[in-house]
Amino acid sequence: MPRQRRIVTLEEVALQAGVSAKTASNAVNGTGRMATRTRERVLAVIDELGYRPNMAARNLTTGRTGTIAFAVPTLKAAYLAELAEAFVETARGLGLTTTILTYPDDGAGGCRAFLRRYDPQLADGLVITLPEFERLEERDFDVDFPLVCLGTRSTYGRAELVTTDDVTDARTATEYLLARGSTSIAVVGARDAFDEHAIAQASEGNAELRLRGVQEALRAADRPLDPRLVGITGHDWTIGSGSRAARAAIASGVPFDGMVCLNDGLAIGAISALREEGLRVPDDVQVIGFDNIEESAYLTPPLTTMDSRIAWIARTALEHLLRRVEHPSLPVGKAFARTQLVARGTTR
């Protein structure tokens, strides 16, 4: 049976280093004034004895945990998994620990309940990716802890928001296909049956805003979007769903030579379906996705996509949260990620 490791106290460190307990504490916390040689001697003793600071006691003294909470609906989605990893890496670079939390994005109040029950003692603040399938109300953001939100849902000016301009980005993606010779565009990833009037008024939600951008670009080009070419995937933005939606577009009998997929997973599935139906990418059908997940660069051919700048979003969200931790009364702001088109082999 392994022996339990003995806990080394700060007093033991101070005794062996020949300094007071206060001086030893200052050396551990990087505070106080002392000679460089004294600080180095204390740190050397810490390494020698294997001293670990009492985090509970430190938290009581500083009012900080050194931990940031990051919440997502799921880690199954490639984009959210990469975003969580980017956030962890960014926080680690600042000497912070990240706690990853999930909540059910089931359209039945999962995010609302999470925000209401969240324990602010867990971390110094919370960054949360807002749900796609649940509409939150203004009162849901009336919380007593530092909060930064990610996504395209409104926070009603009650919480910091780091987001993307999905309408502009989808318009850019569609215009790119048109400029390279596509004349009829299909879309993969709509939540519901296509309603051009409702989509024209959309103000939140990734699927709705991206579909709105596609519609605006096609209208400007005098090439209205054919409802039969709008692939409905509901809340399922997976590879399999992309394949099924692409097959449905082909089966409609309406010719198309360009396809905007509302995320990269959908695009991967759509390309597979196009190939199985004998259509060449990009010769017969050009395809563009969204998010620039890692896999997109390694497909055959590599996927042209709108890069949502995951690293920038993670860094910006953390910066905003840390500012709010230090200055809770700062005005609430909004930051936009400037998405970039990454041209690869699925377009001409």
Residue 72 near residue 102 (C-beta atoms within 8 A): yes
Indicate whether 168 pLDDT > 90. Answer: yes
Q: How many CB atoms lie within 10 A of CB 322?
A: 18
pLDDT of residue 31: 67
Pairwise CA distance, residues 330 & 327, whole Å: 6
Q: Does domain 167-307 have CATH number 3.40.50.2300?
A: yes
Alpha-helical segments (H) within 221-339: 239-251, 264-276, 310-326
The rounded distance, in Å, linking the Cα atoms of 235 and 97 is 32
Q: What is the DSSP letter of 302?
A: P
pLDDT exceeds cutoff 50 at 237: yes
Angle at the Cα of 187 (from 181 to 193), degrees rounded to 5? 145
279 burial via Cβ count (<10 Å: 0-12, 13-18, 19+)? middle
Q: Kindly report, as residue ranges, where domains of CATH 1.10.260.40 are found in the chain.
A: 10-62
Percentage above 70 pLDDT, the chain: 94
| CA 242 – CA 231 distance, rounded (Å) | 8
pLDDT at 121 over 90: no
Query: How many angstroms separate the CA atoms of 281 and 299, rounded?
Result: 12
Query: What pLDDT score was predicted for residue 36?
Result: 83
CATH class of domain segment(s) 10-62: mainly alpha
Task: Please tell me the CATH superfamily of domain 67-164+310-339, with its number.
Answer: Response regulator (3.40.50.2300)
Residue 221 predicted with pLDDT over 90: yes
> What is the pLDDT averaged over residues 140-163?
95
Looking at the DSSP assignment, which residues form a beta bridge with residue 262? Answer: none
- pTM summary value: 0.80
254-280, pLDDT tens digit by residue? Answer: 999 999 999 999 999 999 999 999 999
pLDDT at position 3 over 60: no
- What pLDDT, on the 0 to 100 scale, is given for residue 1? 43
Span 287-332, pLDDT tens digits: 999 999 999 999 999 999 999 999 999 999 999 999 999 898 899 9
Longest Cα pair distance anywhere in the chain, in angstroms? 85
How far apart, in whole angstroms, are the C-alpha atoms of residue 241 and residue 44?
57
How far is Cα 326 from Cα 322, in angstroms, rounded to an integer?
6
Dihedral through CA 252, CA 258, CA 262, CA 264, nearest 10?
A: 110
Task: Please report the pLDDT score of residue 67 as a whole number.
Answer: 92
- Determine the residue type at 118: Y
Is 90 exceeded by the pLDDT of residue 46? Answer: no
Does 50 score more than 90 pLDDT? Answer: no
Assigned token pair, 67: 């931990």
> Where along the chain do the CATH 3.40.50.2300 domains lie?
67-164+310-339, 167-307
